[in-house]
Structure 1
Amino acid sequence: MADISPLSARPEVLDFLLTRRSRPAKTLRAPVPDRGTVDTLLTAAARCPDHGKLEPWRFLVLERAACTRLAALAREIGADRPLGPEKLEKSTRAFADAHLVVAVVSVPKPSDKVPETEQVLSAGAACLSLVNAALACGWGANWLTDWMAFDRAFLSRGLGLAETEIVAGFIHLGTETIVPPERPRPDVAALTEWVSA
């Protein structure tokens, strides 16, 4: 392990990051975090990198009834999309089985200094920060998108999003019912190039 300054070292945090594992959304059930806990998780998510302090994201907390409504809407709209029955059922079940989902909405802001791409990446960073905060608190969490995150009809009718907004991630939260097995991880050495000059 690399040398870490003893004044700022947080080995337990590094250990968490080195062993973190998302929980499949389909295995998450009630109970779910209460409002106070969700507020804490969102506060942690909002501490993500945000060049220019633009806050190019916002959060929609979707409770059980909203998830049920969105499942029906996904089925309705998805029937007109070239998804196939298996894909349509899978995407519909993602909401039908959910008890609590946070939609992290990418909200690009006009800026001469911060390109839209950086703002979308900030929304993605908020997604990962939210997942990690939930996992660190002992909740199951999973980051999904699927076609609904980009479908204008679904975004407008289901979530009331503006034309310029998309969902960077649907973050499913709940109690894990199955501990997932470890999966193969990237060979970091094969993906890394050191440039010395």
Structure 2
Amino acid sequence: MSRTFHGCVALSVLFAMSVAATAPLHAAEPPAIQKIKVDGSIRTYQVGNVAVAGQPSPQGFRDLKKQGFTTIISLRHPDEERFDQEALCEELGLEFVRLVISSPNDLNPKLAKRCSELMSQADQDSKVLLHCAAGARAGAAWVVHRVLQEQQDVDKAFAEAKQMGLAVKELKAAAKQCIDAKK
């Protein structure tokens, strides 16, 4: 081979290396939302190892345990429940956390932070389910987590939360306030 050819190859390799070294590093895209089925829940969506749902049935909790879920976060007041979720979770060996959102005013930065901390604990070996009755309150708490912890675009996060059941304008406003309080 000629020296000219080797020189061109060497220059091409050096050029490619310099472009790669100066290319901006992009953060990984947040995981995509996907619909899953959970017995009793009118809608359930999973993103990574976190699922957001309406109220599962007792069988739904059993199924979630089999699927590797370890933590259940309920945003429902005990008076709303048709069965004792906490007792069932204890029986199944699931961690149960209750963070009550009875009205949009209950979704505040402190509650949203605690909820987000719990969702952030999900990893390869543990999944977290966040639920309310139909998905509106869970969707509102989710959008705060998605924007502040996972750096998701606000509009995209609200679109996801709408799929999850966030349709109450007062809950949307409360979620937006929590996001704005942290920015």
Same fold (TM over 0.5): no
Question: Larger helix proportion, structure 1 or 2?
Answer: 2
TM-score normalised by structure 1 residue count:
0.28
Where relative contact order (Cα < 8 A, 6+ residues apart) is larger, the structure is 1
Larger Rg: 2
